Amino acid sequence: MSPRPPLRIAVLVSGSGSNLQAIIDAIAAGSLDARIVGVISDRPGVRALERATAAGIPAITVDYHAMADRDAFGTALLGELQGLEPQLVVLAGFMRILPAGLVESYRGRMLNVHPSLLPLYPGLHTYRRALEAGDAWHGTTVHFVTPELDAGPAIIQYRVRIRPADTEDSLRERVQRGEHHVYPLAIQWLASGRVAFRDGIVWREGRPATGPETIDEKE
């Protein structure tokens, strides 16, 4: 049986692109069997586009603020994605809520990473909310994207124990270190067929998953 060809992925970004860099590095190291066919930003001039160009990856801007409205942006973005023909769309610090029609076009083929242990704290300011709530744990979740915000089925979570001296910045730094590990890992699981999206849920090793895999920070 011939080996699988590298998974074609398109990455959507809005900012510095640290998760994009983690994916680029994992591919270069041979731990992720994928090829990034394009990086698309909703903002011009961001660091993530520079990272893509430095790695020889097509860097594309679909400027949200240059569009007439959200629907026009969604149409333009969908057109760029269709031109790239990705097998998987990866949201890496992408800060726009995507139109439901675009999400449905890539149902089961679109991933996001969210800095909380979903279903806790969808949306913004997750580090602050976890600290204010006095939580024992915080972390990040890689999940399939559905039209509902941060509500798609989870593949993997990385957890860190909240320390008494933690601030938003220190907690973010620790969570992001883990995020840069588990996001490429989740993509590799899809590339290898270990994980799939079927019947609206995550399947792992050919069986319905009972919940996300969990990796805890090493103390």
- Cα separation, 84 vs 16, in Å, equals 22
For residues 101 and 163, state if they share a domain. Answer: no
- CATH code of the domain in which 77 resides: 3.40.50.170
**Of the residues 71, 89, 106, the one at which a domain ends:** 106
For residues 54 and 118, state if they share a domain. Answer: no
- Cα separation, 204 vs 193, in Å, equals 9
Q: What is the mean pLDDT of residues 68-94?
A: 97
> Tokens 């970004």 identify what position?
13
Within 10 angstroms of residue 182's Cβ, the number of other Cβ atoms is: 23
**Domain span including residue 119:** 113-219
The pLDDT > 70 percentage for the chain reads: 99
CB 42 within 8 A of CB 94: yes
219 confidence band (pLDDT: 50, 70, 90):
confident
CB 75 within 8 A of CB 81: no
For residues 177 and 203, state if they share a domain. Answer: yes
pLDDT at 3: 75
For residues 117 and 186, state if they share a domain. Answer: yes
Q: What is the mean pLDDT of residues 190-201?
A: 96
Q: Mean pLDDT across the chain, nearest whole number?
A: 96
Answer whether residue 183 shows pLDDT above 80: yes
For residues 88 and 135, state if they share a domain. Answer: no
4 confidence band (pLDDT: 50, 70, 90):
confident
Q: Which helix (H) or strand (E) holds 34?
A: strand 34-41
Q: List pLDDT tens digits, range 24-53.
A: 999 999 999 999 999 999 999 999 999 999
Answer whether residue 208 shows pLDDT above 90: yes
Answer whether residue 142 shows pLDDT above 50: yes
133 confidence band (pLDDT: 50, 70, 90):
very high
For residues 177 and 218, state if they share a domain. Answer: yes
Interstrand relation of 154-161 and 213-216 (parallel, antiparallel or unpaired): parallel
Answer whether residue 1 shows pLDDT above 50: no
For residues 12 and 99, state if they share a domain. Answer: yes
Per the structure, how many domains does the chain have?
A: 2
Which residues fall within 8 angstroms of residue 3, CB to CB, at 6 or more apart?
none
For residues 122 and 204, state if they share a domain. Answer: yes
Which residues fall within 8 angstroms of residue 71, CB to CB, at 6 or more apart?
99
Closest residue by Cα to residue 139 from 111, 153, 164, 119: 119
To the nearest 10°, the Cα dihedral for 119, 120, 124, 125?
-160
Catalytic residue from among 114, 138, 143, 180 = 114
For residues 158 and 100, state if they share a domain. Answer: no
Q: What is the mean pLDDT of residues 169-188?
A: 98
**Of the residues 73, 106, 139, the one at which a domain ends:** 106
Which residues fall within 8 angstroms of residue 147, CB to CB, at 6 or more apart?
100, 103, 104
For residues 58 and 146, state if they share a domain. Answer: no
Q: List pLDDT tens digits, range 58-74.
A: 999 999 999 999 999 99
Active site residue 114: yes
For residues 101 and 125, state if they share a domain. Answer: no
For residues 130 and 75, state if they share a domain. Answer: no
Rounded to 5°, the CA angle 205-122-68 comes to 105
Answer whether residue 90 shows pLDDT above 70: yes
